[in-house]
């Protein structure tokens, strides 16, 4: 009798197994096409963690020259942090020669002017529609060319981004050119200096008439950066303290690591209006281990 029962149960179990849904696939980087207005033909990849929040935040993570979205996904810690905290990461890829983002043209330096910023904002709007993402929690970070784009996006779209974290960049408008070139040697060498008011006017001028809140900014730079030289760090601090209407005198200075000097402007907490971290003796190689987590804290994405 037991054998007869077993003979009846096994086929039933086999049938149920065949009908059962396959186990959920682990989250992976996925390319998205047809995401909206994309005048410079950027590519879009997104990372949606398995534990994505019901109303997730969105982080745009922008690569360096010669890089790509998938390379920035593989080479940084933002995806693993998304796994921990449930936000979505968008990785744009530049497709022009050299794979640098356009932070120089007049189109790129104004709200809805065209070029790469328009495509990146289309990616954000796609994520908001596709994944029910929270429009009040959209952030951007990037390294080198991506850090310059972080500055540009905060100037062009203060209505979209709530904060940025720029790893080895330059101020908004510093890389502007009029000869069609994408490279500004004077800016890269740190020889362009302006008053805080002049820098602030450049960023505000990207979106004339905008009267809303301005995004907070976290700035990182190595003192030995030979590509986008260290004076750009001080010029960025001038710009964003002016844009955010806070004193250029730090509210607090500390050293989270022995080689880091962190200054906060306008407040002393983790979400100060402007936070700037100078990394002693480091070249053009940011972010390094642990820095992405500091950016996530600045954004508030690690809050419960």
Task: List all residues 6 or more positions away from 114 whose beta carbon is below 8 Å from its beta carbon.
Answer: 39, 40, 107, 108
Question: For residues 222 and 285, is the Cβ–Cβ distance under 8 A?
Answer: yes
Catalytic positions are 144
Look up residue 248 and give its two tokens: 């250029």
Which parts of 51-117 are beta strand (E)? 58-62, 88-93
Report which of 181, 170, 128, 179 is spatially closest to residue 147, judged by C-alpha positions.
170
| Greatest Cα pair distance in the chain | 92
Task: List all residues 6 or more positions away from 92 whose beta carbon is below 8 Å from its beta carbon.
Answer: 42, 43, 44, 60, 62, 63, 69, 101, 116, 119, 120, 123
Report which of 61, 244, 71, 270 is spatially closest to residue 167, judged by C-alpha positions.
61
């Amino acid at each position: 009798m037991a054998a007869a029962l077993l003979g009846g149960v096994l086929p039933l179990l086999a049938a149920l197994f065949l009908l059962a849904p396959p186990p959920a696939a682990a989250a992976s980087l996925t390319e998205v096409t047809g995401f909206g207005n994309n005048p410079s033909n950027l590519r879009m990849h997104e990372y949606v963690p398995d534990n994505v929040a019901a109303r997730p935040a969105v982080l745009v993570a922008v690569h360096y020259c010669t890089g790509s979205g998938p390379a920035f996904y593989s080479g940084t810690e933002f995806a693993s942090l998304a796994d921990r905290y449930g936000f979505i990461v968008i990785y744009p890829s530049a497709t022009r020669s050299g794979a640098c983002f356009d932070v120089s043209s007049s189109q790129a330096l104004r709200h809805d002017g065209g070029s790469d910023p328009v495509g990146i904002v289309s990616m954000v709007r796609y994520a908001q529609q596709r994944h029910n993402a929270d429009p009040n929690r959209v952030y951007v970070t990037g390294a080198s060319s991506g850090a310059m784009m972080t500055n540009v996006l905060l100037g062009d779209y203060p209505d979209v981004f709530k904060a940025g974290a720029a790893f080895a960049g330059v101020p908004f408008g510093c890389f502007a050119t009029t000869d069609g070139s994408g490279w500004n040697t004077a800016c890269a060498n740190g020889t362009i200096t302006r008053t805080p008011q002049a820098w602030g006017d450049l960023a505000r001028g990207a979106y004339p008439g905008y009267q809303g809140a301005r995004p907070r900014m976290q700035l990182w730079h190595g003192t030995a950066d030979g590509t986008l030289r260290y004076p750009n760090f001080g010029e960025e601090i001038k710009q964003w303290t002016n844009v955010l209407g806070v004193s250029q005198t730090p509210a607090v200075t500390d050293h989270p690591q022995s080689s880091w000097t962190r200054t906060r402007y306008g407040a002393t907490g983790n979400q100060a209006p402007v936070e700037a971290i100078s990394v002693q003796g480091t070249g053009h190689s940011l972010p390094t281990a642990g820095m992405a987590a500091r950016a996530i804290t600045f954004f508030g994405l690690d809050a419960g």
